Structure 1
Amino acid sequence: MTAPRPLVTRFAPSPTGFLHLGHAHSALAGWRRARAAGGRFLLRIEDIDATRCRPEFVSAIEEDLAWLGLDWDGPVRVQSRHMADYRVSLDHLAAQGLLYPCFCSRSDIARGIAASAAAPHGPDGPLYPGTCRHLGKPERAARMAREPFALRLDMARALATLPAPLDFEEAGQGIIRCDPARFGDAVLARKEVPASYHLCVTHDDARDGVTLVTRGADLLPATDLHRLLQQLLGWPAPVYAHHALLADSLGRRLAKRDGAPALRSLRTQGISPSAVRAMAGWPD
């Protein structure tokens, strides 16, 4: 009988602002599961978007988590330092004929969608209409030499490689069938962000041996695309545990853009780590 894999969870914030109670809830969800099982809890900084991420928030994340009473195992992985790793994965997909360059600007795509009588929609909005999918190799090569482009996953080709339908295990709910087609030809890299969130997160979960992904319910739809990338790249599938999102008194999801109270602000007010843990939904 194969021995069960040790439990490994992770918390992977983007350093685009200070941590708030919603982050604390998510971090504690993974940390408590790992510590209760004698497993490992990892910290990863997802800073691939250089236009929004700031170095000063990286140190603030570590400081706030430590004040909250959380520790982590091993060194912190900072994604922006490992772009070469993600490039290898992109090259592997390209070698399978599953990527194509897209030269459309956001306005080009918007016009194409507007011109469609019934543009299909996915979890992230209207799907890319496939304008560049059928360009010939000579035209692609010529334009890649002179124009900026994104790399898109050819969804139809990717799905055609699957030996069977995809699914994933959601903790407490069982097996859920995936429908990655609803993402269309997803962008996996672009000029300003050399590797997408979807590629980097699945790469790092596999690299770090994460066996349980604890994250917010808003990311549940993305699991379909993540399972497809795991299958295409030969990576193991973790179990998932998507938790409810904390909301304010008006029922709005706690978010940086809406001014959710930062942990360091609560600390400045003299609120104890224990009280903040309780506010985040994890009383001692």
Structure 2
Amino acid sequence: MWSVSLSKFRTRFAPSPTGLLHLGHAASARAVWEAAARAGGEVLLRIEDIDTTRCRPEFTDAIYEDLRWLGFEWPEPVRVQSEHFADYASVVEALEARGLAYRCFRTRAEIAAQTPAGQVFTSAPLSLAEEQARLDAGEVFAWRLSLAACQAALGAAYHELSFQLETEAGLETRRADPGLHGDIVIARKDSPSAYHIAATHDDALQGMTHIIRGQDLADAPHIQILLQVLMDWPQPIYHHHALLMGPDGKRLSKSHGSISLAELRQDGKTPDDIWAMIGLQ
């Protein structure tokens, strides 16, 4: 299925420790490790804990325990993103220095009220005087990537962005549309980074050739390819596996109330029981 030479294949499993792993995580992890095994490659474990308000160390410890219990192995050391905020801040600084990022002082409520239904948020930077006045007043802000500035910087190449997507039919080239996401946050008000910056930075740093994750992130390559081009980072191949659904037809998630792997283990379930529960033997 995979279209690169076997010696180059490297992917990652990158959970966020905002809660305990559940059956959906187990299914995703198995998809990642099995793909690497078929290609004779390797899987790196990465802890994506940049959300300092929700991520907790005990959940990180539980991730290690659950994955080892399921029989997965990975090289050490594990990259824990909260230990590398300076790396992500340097990316934001580089983009800002090129005029590709701007400070956004709007709250989520303000953005929702000012953005028409069905549209994504884009904006122009404030005037220097207004921005300085807000900074002097101590107002908090997020950094956003300016799509307008990116289009101006890349010219015609912006509209020719594409990414490689591995499907059951084989390797396909898809045209990217960064506008699907609007002016994304690249550094949050409460954190020196946001998901797309940290993930694409680490994918490049760790030499990922393939990104394997669920269909819930199927739109992510559209903006991540733009960051990769702007930062001159390698462009991996993407694959999005099907999500594990609950009896109600909704995908399993922490907020969905999915029972955790830790609870199942305490109830006497074995890893083989877990695979059987998600339809894998």
- Give secondary structure in 2 for the equivalent of 1:138: helix
Q: Is the 8 A contact 1:42 1:76 kept in 2?
A: yes
Q: How does 1:205-284 map to 2 (within 5 A)?
A: 205-283=203-281
The match for 2:110 is 108
Question: Are 1:68 and 2:70 matched, yes or no?
Answer: yes
The match for 1:169 is 164
Q: 1:156 aligns with which of 139, 148, 163?
A: 148
Q: Is the 8 A contact 1:15 1:47 kept in 2?
A: yes
Unaligned runs of 5+ in 2: none
Report deviation, 1:274: 1.9
Distance in 1 separating the partners of 2:216 and 2:84? 26
Query: Structure 1 stretches (4+) deviating beyond 3 angstroms?
Result: 2-5
Report deviation, 1:250: 1.9
- Give secondary structure in 2 for the equivalent of 1:171: strand
The match for 1:9 is 11
Per-residue CA deviations over 1:88-139 (Å, capped at 9, x if unaligned) read: 11111111100111111222223323xxxxx263xxxx42252xx2422233
Percent identity over the alignment? 49
What TM-score do you get using the length of structure 1 for normalisation? 0.90
The match for 1:91 is 93
Distance 1:282 1:73, change over 3 A: farther
Report deviation, 1:4: 7.1
Q: Is the 8 A contact 2:102 2:125 kept in 1?
A: no
Q: CA RMSD in A?
A: 1.8
Per-residue CA deviations over 1:253-281 (Å, capped at 9, x if unaligned) read: 10111111211112122221122123334
Per-residue CA deviations over 1:7-52 (Å, capped at 9, x if unaligned) read: 1111111101110111011111111111232211111111111111
Distance 1:140 1:220, change over 3 A: same
Distance in 2 separating the partners of 1:27 and 1:159? 36
The match for 2:200 is 202
The match for 1:186 is 184
Q: How does 1:51-62 map to 2 (within 5 A)?
A: 51-62=53-64
Distance in 1 separating the partners of 2:268 and 2:5? 46
- Give secondary structure in 2 for the equivalent of 1:258: coil
Q: Is the 8 A contact 2:6 2:40 kept in 1?
A: no
What TM-score do you get using the length of structure 2 for normalisation? 0.91
**What one-letter code is carried by the residue in structure 2 that aligns with 1:273?**
P
- Further displaced range: 135-144 or 257-266: 135-144
Distance in 2 separating the partners of 1:25 and 1:241? 15
Distance in 2 separating the partners of 1:177 and 1:85? 29
Distance 1:4 1:28, change over 3 A: closer
The match for 2:130 is 139
Report deviation, 1:57: 0.4
Distance in 2 separating the partners of 1:34 and 1:120? 41
Distance 1:5 1:150, change over 3 A: farther
Unaligned runs of 5+ in 1: 114-118
Distance 1:4 1:33, change over 3 A: closer
Report deviation, 1:3: 7.0
- Give secondary structure in 2 for the equivalent of 1:100: strand
Distance in 2 separating the partners of 1:252 and 1:185? 29
- Give secondary structure in 1 for the equivalent of 2:255: helix
The match for 1:116 is none
Question: Are 1:45 and 2:47 matched, yes or no?
Answer: yes
